[in-house]
Amino acid sequence: MKAIILAAGYATRLYPLTKNMPKALLKVGSKSILDHILENVMQIDAVDEIHIVSNQKFYQNFLDWKEESSYKLPIVVHNDGTTGNENRLGALGDLKFVLDQAHIDDDIIVLAGDNLMDFSLRDFYEFYRKVDSCALCATEVKPEEATRLGIIQLDEAGRIIDFEEKPENPKSNIAAFAVYIYKKETLKLLDEYLEAGNNPDAPGNFPAWLHKREPVYAYLFEGTCYDIGTHEAYREVQELYKDK
């Protein structure tokens, strides 16, 4: 299994913090967001390589981080060549870029470079092994949060039967988060999705499309997945992790 970290955004909402520093490398507690993510990913024994996709602006920042890191697994940093929001590839465009650049022909775990999880990804991986199908992480959210997230409905086995991004009238209170495992056989469908002109931006758009074509399951985690998209969210996680 290969791990792919999507970190090619420009995080303009966090300016001036991210004017010259990618969001994934901002410190939370004693280490960067990216380091928190990778320490969790590396609990999965099947992962044998890490791929991080950056943009042109922050590519050197990630190379410098890699130079100072001491992880045992190989880490590859990819530059998608974009220079701003006006020519970005989008999360799914970047995923396709890495798959092609690295000639990946394995199952993959895909994570957003700005999501901080306090639950074990090893448990998510074991769930994936059990259902033997593509899977994503999900949890119950408050009603007022549901209109801002991807909301899913599940059958009794945990298979997704409905997926709607930011619904005006949510059908459930279960939200999907940007942590996915895709089987290698499924990745050809990403080509089909993109070639049909579907939205390449939000990573949740692909499983929302995919679940109508093949089984996609939801792992209901116990804990929190923090989306660090605003100054308020960043201050919150800094406070929570200040002693870690």
Each residue's pLDDT tens digit, 126-163: 999 999 999 999 999 988 888 888 999 999 999 999 99
The more confident residue out of 171 and 225 is 171
Token duo for residue 78: 């990819």
Mean pLDDT in residue range 192-201: 93
AA letter at 244: K
Per-residue pLDDT, 243: 66
The more confident residue out of 213 and 234 is 213
Topology of the domain comprising 2-240: Spore Coat Polysaccharide Biosynthesis Protein SpsA; Chain A (3.90.550)
Per-residue pLDDT, 244: 60
Q: How far apart are CA 136 and CA 197, in angstroms?
A: 23
Strands (E), 81-203: 108-112, 115-117, 134-140, 150-154, 160-165, 174-182
Q: Residue 234 — very low, low, confident or very high, per pLDDT cuts 50/70/90?
A: confident
Each residue's pLDDT tens digit, 2-14: 999 999 998 888 8
Q: How far apart are CA 112 and CA 121, in angstroms?
A: 14
Q: How far apart are CA 77 and CA 59, in angstroms?
A: 8
Q: Residue 24 — very low, low, confident or very high, per pLDDT cuts 50/70/90?
A: very high
Per-residue pLDDT, 145: 87
Q: How far apart are CA 60 and CA 64, in angstroms?
A: 6
Per-residue pLDDT, 151: 94
pLDDT at 50 exceeding the cut of 80: yes
pTM over 0.85: yes
Looking at every residue in the chain, the average pLDDT score rounds to 93
Each residue's pLDDT tens digit, 209-225: 999 999 999 999 988 88
Per-domain boundaries in the chain: 2-240
